[in-house]
A and B are shown apart, each in its own frame.
Chain A
Amino acid sequence: MLSLSEPALPGECIRAEKAWKIYDTAKGPVEAVAGVSFSVRRGEFVAILGPSGCGKSTLLMMCGGLEAITAGRISVDGAPIACPRTSIGVMFQESTLLPWKSVLDNVMFPIELLHRPRREHMARARELLSLVGLSGFESHKPHQLSGGMRQRAAICRALVYDPDILLMDEPFSALDAITRDEMNDALLDIWTRYTKTALFVTHSIREAVYLADRVLVMNRRPATIVADIAIPIPRPRDPSVGETKLFNELCSTLRGMIEHSHRAARDVTPYA
């Protein structure tokens, strides 16, 4: 865990200080995020790992200015975040491609909204599409693509306007295991090339270890970060990394933490 007295570091990109999200429901207030503090350095790939329903997606959306912060503070590039910014790209669980637009037009959608010069970004869009293996599918419509291909297009869309920070909310959780591994490699490829600061939410331990420089483990009750584990696996990484002793040790360490925090939660609220 980070100490709060730590001053803002020069290379610091995202900084959460005792951030809370409390929903008012019919059954009373629900703490979706309970006083979370962490920081992400520029160019770092950080994964937030936790069981479903632990508030990790809410935390990510708060970092992107898409969810209001009830208490505490989240700063991005030194300024408190209150609304979405164009320096932040977001990838959602669903690809959310617009069904009537072609793949290329979907990728160009942010450029259209932000009134950026069309021609130079068109070249960038095509380059991104070829990087994720979608060359030749530019004029296809989303319904003609597989789930993995749609998510590839969504990566391109999130990167086309060149945001500094990429927030990803379980982007591959709806895909089958094989496609998911392919997507992880595609993402790493693209991330090494453009070196974005990345915050990646997942409930898959292996995915977190494979992708990230650091894994933040999030607990359910209270919904807070319980561990900050560095992943010292050298880059570039490829699927053979998954066979190494270090990888598997890190996975079992993390698994232990998640199980431990589960038990702790059960001890506090036996019937929850």
Chain B
Amino acid sequence: MAAIRWRAWRPIVLPLLFAGALLLAWQELTGWLAVSPMLLVPPSAIWSVLVQAWPVLLAQSWPTLVNSVVGFLLASGLGIALGGALVVSRRVEQAFWPHVLIFQLIPKVAVAPLFIIWLGMGPTSRLAFAVFLSFFPIAVSAATGFRAADPTALRLCRSLTATTWQTFLRVRVPYAIPHIFAGLKVGVTVAIIGVVIGEFVTAQEGLGYIIMFASSAAQTALVFATIALLCGIGLLLYGAVALGEWFVRRWYGAPISAGGFE
């Protein structure tokens, strides 16, 4: 009985133990080796800065969080729509698909300054950059998903004289959903990266701005505290997507994996 219980809890307990051990080692080693606080601060110092600067950090988290969420939602809508268009229309696919792939190859961070030229220093350019960054993984996985429909199911629809739209909604969309969620999970983390990069470049507000400011002032502890907060935001948004996936899985009631239906 006890052995069974341990096996059930192990996947939760082991990572926590590992993280605890790592933090302890970090704490002890920085003290023991007398590492300069300019380079690396112990976890206890990060914690105290986090508590101290909490009001400021919280205020600056807000624009980062909002831009990430809005950017991710816009990218999801656009990405899924383009993915669908690529599959429904052969012409759209032939015209767009090569460009989608080529766009993937652009080191997108290099384009960030252009967004400021086009859209100014305000939140619009940060939002647009987040959309730009997270749009592609979502579009590609949606297109893959819409193509992943069982060909025999598509033939069945044809034999039943279903319209393209009926086939899309009733067969292609359900088959695509596991793939789309895989894309959304990548997209949501990339949207946060996009916002933070935007904040680096525009240096107006947000956690990215705090990191730039703190590192130029050699406040290493504050940099770490901000990174910890960004991790928290990432975890929150990723968790929201995972929760959505869980609900969809339950609605399906069929065994699905990342690769589609088993």
Contacts of A94 in B (CB 8 A): 152
Q: Name the residue on A nearest B162 (C-beta).
A: A113
Q: Name the residue on A nearest B163 (C-beta).
A: A113
Q: Name the residue on A nearest B252 (C-beta).
A: A100
Contacts of B43 in A (CB 8 A): none
Of B155, B157, B253, which one neighbours A113 at CB under 8 angstroms? B157
Mask, A100-116, CB within 8 Å of B = 1, is 10000000011011100
Bound together, the chains give a CA A89 to CA B159 distance in angstroms of: 7
Number of B interface residues in the complex (CB < 8 A): 22
Say whether A215 faces chain B, with CB atoms less than 8 Å apart.
no
- Interface SS of chain A: loop
Bound together, the chains give a CA A89 to CA B156 distance in angstroms of: 10
Determine whether the beta carbon of A99 is less than 8 Å from that of B158: no
- Interface SS of chain B: helix
Chain A residues 142 to 160 lying within 8 A of chain B, measured CB to CB, are 142-143
Determine whether the beta carbon of A98 is less than 8 Å from that of B171: yes
Contact (A141, B161) CB under 8 Å given A96-B150, A113-B170: no
Bound together, the chains give a CA A251 to CA B24 distance in angstroms of: 80
Chain B residues 142 to 194 lying within 8 A of chain A, measured CB to CB, are 150, 152-153, 155-162, 166, 170-171, 174
Contact (A92, B254) CB under 8 Å given A98-B171, A113-B162: no
Bound together, the chains give a CA A86 to CA B158 distance in angstroms of: 10
How far is the CB of A221 from the nearest CB of chain B, in Å? 27
Of B150, B155, B254, which one neighbours A141 at CB under 8 angstroms? B254
Contacts of B11 in A (CB 8 A): none
Contacts of B261 in A (CB 8 A): 99-100
Say whether A262 faces chain B, with CB atoms less than 8 Å apart.
no
Say whether A265 faces chain B, with CB atoms less than 8 Å apart.
no
Contacts of A112 in B (CB 8 A): 170
Determine whether the beta carbon of A84 is less than 8 Å from that of B158: yes
Determine whether the beta carbon of A84 is less than 8 Å from that of B160: yes
Determine whether the beta carbon of A113 is less than 8 Å from that of B160: yes
Bound together, the chains give a CA A141 to CA B253 distance in angstroms of: 8
Say whether B98 faces chain A, with CB atoms less than 8 Å apart.
no
How far is the CB of B25 from the nearest CB of chain A, in Å? 47
Say whether A66 faces chain B, with CB atoms less than 8 Å apart.
yes
Determine whether the beta carbon of B166 is less than 8 Å from that of A113: yes
Of A99, A100, A114, which one neighbours B161 at CB under 8 angstroms? A114
How far is the CB of B56 from the nearest CB of chain A, in Å? 48
Chain A residues 30 to 86 lying within 8 A of chain B, measured CB to CB, are 64, 66, 83-86
Bound together, the chains give a CA A8 to CA B253 distance in angstroms of: 51
Contacts of A100 in B (CB 8 A): 174, 251-254, 261
Q: Name the residue on A nearest B255 (C-beta).
A: A143
Bound together, the chains give a CA A89 to CA B166 distance in angstroms of: 18
Q: Name the residue on B nearest A97 (C-beta).
A: B153
Contact (A92, B160) CB under 8 Å given A98-B174, A100-B174, A141-B253: no
Contacts of A96 in B (CB 8 A): 150, 152-153, 155-156
Contacts of A89 in B (CB 8 A): 159
Of B156, B166, B171, B251, which one neighbours A92 at CB under 8 angstroms? B156
Mask, A187-230, CB within 8 Å of B = 1, is 00000000000000000000000000000000000000000000
Contacts of A141 in B (CB 8 A): 253-254
Determine whether the beta carbon of A66 is less than 8 Å from that of B158: yes
Q: Name the residue on A nearest B171 (C-beta).
A: A98
Contacts of A90 in B (CB 8 A): 156, 159
Say whether A134 faces chain B, with CB atoms less than 8 Å apart.
no
Among B152, B158, B160, B251, max chain A CB count under 10 A is at B160
Contacts of A13 in B (CB 8 A): none
Contact (A143, B254) CB under 8 Å given A96-B152, A110-B160: yes
Contacts of B171 in A (CB 8 A): 98
Say whether A183 faces chain B, with CB atoms less than 8 Å apart.
no
Bound together, the chains give a CA A98 to CA B174 distance in angstroms of: 9
How far is the CB of B158 from the nearest CB of chain A, in Å? 6
How far is the CB of B18 from the nearest CB of chain A, in Å? 36
Contacts of A98 in B (CB 8 A): 153, 171, 174
How far is the CB of A200 from the nearest CB of chain B, in Å? 16
Mask, B225-262, CB within 8 Å of A = 1, is 00000000000000000000000000111110000011
Contacts of B153 in A (CB 8 A): 96, 98
Bound together, the chains give a CA A83 to CA B162 distance in angstroms of: 12
A sample of 17 cross-chain residue pairs with beta-carbon separation below 8 angstroms, ordered by A number, consists of A66-B155, A84-B158, A86-B160, A86-B161, A89-B159, A90-B159, A96-B150, A96-B153, A98-B153, A99-B261, A100-B251, A100-B254, A113-B161, A113-B170, A141-B253, A143-B255, A143-B262
Known contacts A99-B254, A114-B160; 14 additional CB pairs below 8 A are A66-B155, A89-B159, A94-B152, A96-B152, A99-B252, A99-B255, A99-B261, A100-B174, A100-B253, A100-B254, A110-B160, A112-B170, A142-B254, A143-B262
CB-CB nearest 3 A-B residue pairs = A90-B159, A99-B254, A100-B252
